[in-house]
Amino acid sequence: MSTIEETIKTMAIAAKQAAHKLISLSTERKNRVLLRMADALAAQQEFIRGENDKDLEAGRDKGLSKAMLDRLTLSDKVMASMISGLQEVAALPDPVGEVTEMVKRPNGIMVGRMRIPLGVIGMIYESRPNVTVDAAALCLKAGNSILLRGGSEAIHSNLALARVLQECLAAENIDAAAIQVIPVTDRAAVTYMLGLEEQIDLIIPRGGEGLIRFVAENSRIPVLKHYKGVCHVFVDDTADHAMAINIVMNGKVQRPGVCNSLETLLVHEAIAAAFLPRVGEALAGAGVEIRGCPRTCALLPYARAAMDSDWGMEFLDLILAVKVVPDLESAMQHIVTHGSQHTEAIVTNSYANGQRFLREVDASAVMINASTRFSDGGQFGLGAEIGISTTKLHAYGPMGLKELTTRKFIVYGEGQVRV
Amino acid sequence: MSTIEETIKTMAIAAKQAAHKLISLSTERKNRVLLRMADALAAQQEFIRGENDKDLEAGRDKGLSKAMLDRLTLSDKVMASMISGLQEVAALPDPVGEVTEMVKRPNGIMVGRMRIPLGVIGMIYESRPNVTVDAAALCLKAGNSILLRGGSEAIHSNLALARVLQECLAAENIDAAAIQVIPVTDRAAVTYMLGLEEQIDLIIPRGGEGLIRFVAENSRIPVLKHYKGVCHVFVDDTADHAMAINIVMNGKVQRPGVCNSLETLLVHEAIAAAFLPRVGEALAGAGVEIRGCPRTCALLPYARAAMDSDWGMEFLDLILAVKVVPDLESAMQHIVTHGSQHTEAIVTNSYANGQRFLREVDASAVMINASTRFSDGGQFGLGAEIGISTTKLHAYGPMGLKELTTRKFIVYGEGQVRV
């Protein structure tokens, strides 16, 4: 084993041992340490900023883009959001220990399911150092250890944040190995981490599609991930036009760079002539480039002709693909072909079409008459979000505290044996 | 692509298309086709037996063991159990479409979770051809397509069973690609199947540890699996001795060859001198070989000294490892070190110790005062079992119909947008 491998394996073994003790930690103690962490981040801002400055300086020397440097910066706003995040997680209900579905079987044994932590979560992420704190807080509340492997450009910030969090764990007599940042920035560290199936129970990657594909293709450990969000809105022939315009504009314009923003608009042909010029005007007014099918372009002179590659494209920008479709069926067929199983919405006043869309469209979130931008743990009421899954195993859609747990069977008997 | 790859990919694509249509199939139609399958198996026994005979003949020529030939045989009893299995699955409640956790968010959107099929299940299994029917029935009821890849020694039987099931699908106007047996017996077929992550949503392997490790190590697709069951019973100092003997005997003797049978007995030192001779006599009387720690051997002259490798060993035979431990803590430590996260039980009359064992022991099923043999989908009331998972993602423990589904978020809005 190389030194890198030894370092990581030692950390993973320590994380597993720490996780074993977290199982029986009371909610009260978990909340107390979370609130202590919030206080400590506030108290140690100077130290954290100093370490963050080292990363920013190195980033400028390496010629990182302004957007990259922005993501890397622990500004007042980001610090405040980490602190309030810790307080919010402390206030959330503890999922661990909940017993459900308890039944008495004919032979008298009582069988139920108890919610338990997953164990050790491996988080692999890119530049934003605030992920270190946000993810650690959620994992701790759900009773899990976390091994964090952030990007090399944020290494000083991540290690500084972990140090503050670990001091809080130690002060509450909790094994500090419950939260660890891997100090090795070598790519080989990720590959090696992905092979530690004996120690790590779940990998959550957060970052660009390249990182996520790398993780998915190299992991022996289950991975919860989404590659991208290509969200569609289908405006049905019975839609309220003003409502549809609102939903389209919110989806495309409010925050175009995120995964639940709108990328393709599908319009029922019966209302295309009336609806498209109105929505087109609103979009153009907000600076949105429209890439349309031939029928869209015929109605909107300022639209560009869409290329084949525009269908299913995640623009993450003020660009919208627009297509006229003959009916609900074709809209759903387009979504099957080009969707990303993230979030899909219909705007309709037809009860039958709304219900059918809801039932048949295969995506982690399916909506009637609402903006795709709602597809988010906070908006859905999960409290906080550790990520989004567009694969169906374990969790599908935004993941909160509950998705960081699993359930075991428990049996209360009085000496019963099997006959 | 080779011909094998083309064949399998074509089948997987067809399975995915069929799955898309299964989503909206009514419970009534699913049940009707399941009952038709039961009738068809009965009506076509002669054809099925004829094909089974071909496998048996080839197996005898290849020199398969008697146990292997037994597992391969579609006897009257096995045929009857497949038929009643189909009827039982038809009688189970349909998990698909259930909506839960519906809440109204502050902005008025209604957010809930709808249970949906997983999509396409890949089943990889060894000699028993009845798995073909049992697994297909459960997958169909949960709205999934299934791709079955059985062992080469059962290929005629599996293809015959699939033909009968597919005829029933066709007769009910359901896409016959919902149930397919891969006709290629080459090992390369498994490897190729495990790479089809675009088409297959979940792999369930059933068979020996070798097969399961091969699948787990080569799959790009999530795998639900258990390697082995090394179940422990800890007899606490407050245990009722007669109850403990009953539970130990049931665990070890009733059916030693299965994964929920007992492999290691841990005994509290305070009762060892009184309890071990009694349980030892019962075990010896049933022909069980005892492999004991030094303290056990000192009490039981007929016990063999256990080797290090006996702790954590899955004997699947009339052999039991026995160890005297100083307390609950050491018993739990032994289980952490040697357990397989399958099923663990305590026999105790201490409320505190029972609750602590239940909460802290990390296994898919944890029991107080009951036989480990209860760890089974049928016994737990799941109705029928597609397998057992000892990994924590998605499902932990026996898996029934519900574990063949997932949940998506659904949103009912009235035009809300995000602010």
- pLDDT of B186: 86
Residue of A23, A118, A222 with shortest CB distance to B360: A23
On the question of pLDDT at A1 being above 70, the answer is: no
CA–CA distance, B125 with B205 (Å, rounded to integer): 6
Burial class for A217, CB neighbours closer than 10 Å (0-12, 13-18, 19+): exposed
Lowest-pLDDT range, A222-226, B248-252, B336-340? A222-226
pLDDT, position A17? 95
CA distance B40 to B34: 10
User: Is B410–A366 a contact, with Cβ atoms under 8 angstroms apart?
Assistant: yes
* Nearest CA-CA distance, residue B8 and chain A, Å: 21
B62, two tokens? 């290849």
β-sheet bridge partners, residue A268 = A325
Least CA distance to B241: which residue of chain A? A415
Q: Looking at residue B187, what is its pLDDT?
A: 86
Strands B99-104 and A304-305: unpaired
Determine whether the interchain pair B396/A406 forms a contact, defined as Cβ–Cβ distance below 8 Å. Answer: yes
- The continuous run of DSSP H or E covering A268 comes out as strand A262-268
Q: Are B342 and B375 in contact (CB under 8 A)?
A: yes
Min CA distance, B35 vs chain A (Å)? 26
Of A119, A396, A415, the CB nearest to B240: A415
- The residue with greater pLDDT, B3 or B280, is B280
- Of the candidates A215, A263, A208, which has an alpha carbon nearest to the alpha carbon of residue A71? A208
Sequence-distant contacts of B103-106: CB under 8 A, at least 24 apart: B103/A381, B105/A379, B105/A380, B105/A381
Q: Which residues pair with A235 in a beta bridge?
A: A267, A347
Percent of chain A predicted with pLDDT > 70: 100
Name the minimum distance, in Å, from the CA of A195 to any CA of chain B. 10
Boundaries of every domain in chain A: 3-225, 231-374
Within 8 A of B396 by CB-CB distance, chain A residues are: 406-409
Measured distance CA(A137)–CA(A30) in Å, rounded = 9
pLDDT band at A226 (very low <50, low <70, confident <90, very high): confident
The mean per-residue pLDDT over the stretch A161-167 comes to: 98
Q: How confident is the model at residue A344 (pLDDT cuts 50, 70, 90)?
A: very high
**pLDDT tens digits, residue range A345-398?**
999 999 999 999 999 999 999 999 999 999 999 999 998 889 999 989 999 999
Residues in A closer than 8 angstroms to B373, CB to CB, are 417-418
CATH 1.20.1640.10 fits A231-374, yes or no: no
Q: Are strands A145-149 and A120-125 parallel, antiparallel or unpaired?
A: parallel
Predicted confidence band at B74 (pLDDT cuts at 50, 70, 90)?
Answer: very high
For the segment A149-174, the average pLDDT, to the nearest whole number, is 97
Of B181, B208, B211, B185, nearest in space to B12 by CA:
B181
Residues of A in contact with B358 (CB under 8 A): 114, 410
How many beta carbons lie within 10 A of that of residue B57, not counting itself?
A: 11
Round to whole Å and give the CA distance between B249 and B252. 5
A415 phi, psi to nearest 5 deg: 100, 5
Strand, helix or coil for residue A380: helix
Contact B410 A118 (CB under 8 A): no
* In the predicted structure, residue B1 carries a pLDDT above the cut 80: no
| Joined tokens for residue A418 | 């099997």
Which residues of chain B lie closer than 8 angstroms to A250, CB-CB?
Answer: 417-418
| End-to-end Cα distance, chain A | 51
Of the partner residues B336, B356, B410, the one whose CB lies closest to the CB of residue A20? B336
Give me the phi and psi of A131, to 5 degrees please: -60, -35
Q: What's the rounded Cα separation, in Å, for the pair A70 and A66?
A: 6
Residue A183 C-alpha, separation from nearest chain B C-alpha, in angstroms: 28
Q: How do residues A33-66 score in pLDDT, each as one tens digit?
A: 999 999 999 999 999 999 999 999 999 999 999 9
Q: Which residues of A touch B248 (CB under 8 A)?
A: none
Decide if pLDDT at B154 tops 80.
Answer: yes
Residue A385 is given by DSSP the state -
CB A335, CB A232: distance < 8 Å: yes
B116 vs A362: CB contact, 8 Å cut-off? yes
Give the H or E element holding residue A387.
Answer: strand A387-389
> Given a cut of 80, is residue B79 above it in pLDDT?
yes
- Report the pLDDT value the prediction gives residue B130, as an integer from 0 to 100: 93
Tokens of A103: 């039944």
Task: Check B364 against A243: CB less than 8 A apart.
Answer: no
Name every chain A residue with its beta carbon within 8 A of the beta carbon of B368.
411-413
Min distance B354 CA to chain A CA atoms (Å): 9
Phi, psi at A292, each rounded to 5°: -110, 160
Mutant choice from A109, A145, A357 vs B, greatest count of B C-beta within 10 A: A109
pLDDT, mean of residues A166-183: 98
Q: Residues A280-326: pLDDT tens digits?
A: 999 999 999 999 999 999 999 999 999 999 999 999 999 999 999 99
Inter-chain residue contact B119 with A222, CB threshold 8 Å: no
Mean pLDDT (chain B) is 96
If we measure between CA atoms, which residue out of A359, A343, A378 comes closest to residue A262?
A343
B200-214, B260-274, B282-296, B298-312: the lowest-pLDDT one: B200-214
Could you tell me which CATH number the domain at B3-226+396-412 has? 3.40.605.10
User: Residue range B39-55: average pLDDT?
Assistant: 98
3-state secondary structure of B359: helix
| Domain B231-376 coded CATH 3.40.309.10 | yes
Which residues sit opposite A397 in a β-bridge? A389
Query: Beta strands A202-206 and A231-235: pairing type?
Result: unpaired
Could you report the per-residue pLDDT of B110-127, keeping only the tens digit for each? Answer: 999 999 999 999 999 987
Buried b (16+ CB within 10 A) or exposed e, B305-325: ebeeebbbbbbeeebbbbbbb
Contact between A55 and A155 under an 8 Å Cβ cutoff? The reply is: yes
Residues of chain B found within 8 Å of residue A222, distances taken between Cβ atoms: 222, 391, 393
Q: How far apart are the first and last CA of chain B?
A: 51
Contacts of A398 in chain B (CB under 8 A): 409
Count chain A–chain B contacts defined by CB atoms under 8 A. Answer: 202
Contact A299, A285 (CB under 8 A): no
Strands A179-181 and A202-206 turn out to be unpaired
3-state secondary structure of A114: strand
pLDDT(B216) > 80: yes
User: Which of B395, B205, B96 lies closest to A394 in space, CA to CA?
Assistant: B395
CATH architecture of A3-225: 3-Layer(aba) Sandwich (3.40)
Question: What is the nearest CA distance from B230 to chain A, expressed in angstroms?
Answer: 17
A185 — pLDDT class (breaks 50, 70, 90):
confident
Write out chain A residues lying below 8 Å of B416, CB-based.
369-371, 374
Record: contact B250-A417, CB cut-off 8 A: yes
How confident is the model at residue B226, as a pLDDT?
86
Quote ipTM for the complex.
Answer: 0.94
The answer to whether A226 touches A144, Cβ cutoff 8 Å, is: no
Which one is predicted more confidently, B356 or B4? B356
Of the partner residues A220, A364, A411, the one whose CB lies closest to the CB of residue B365: A411
Which of B240, B370, B418 is the closest to A109 by Cβ? B370
Residue A46: CB atoms within 10 A of its CB come to 7
Q: A295: distance to nearest CA of chain B, Å? A: 26
* DSSP class of B292: E
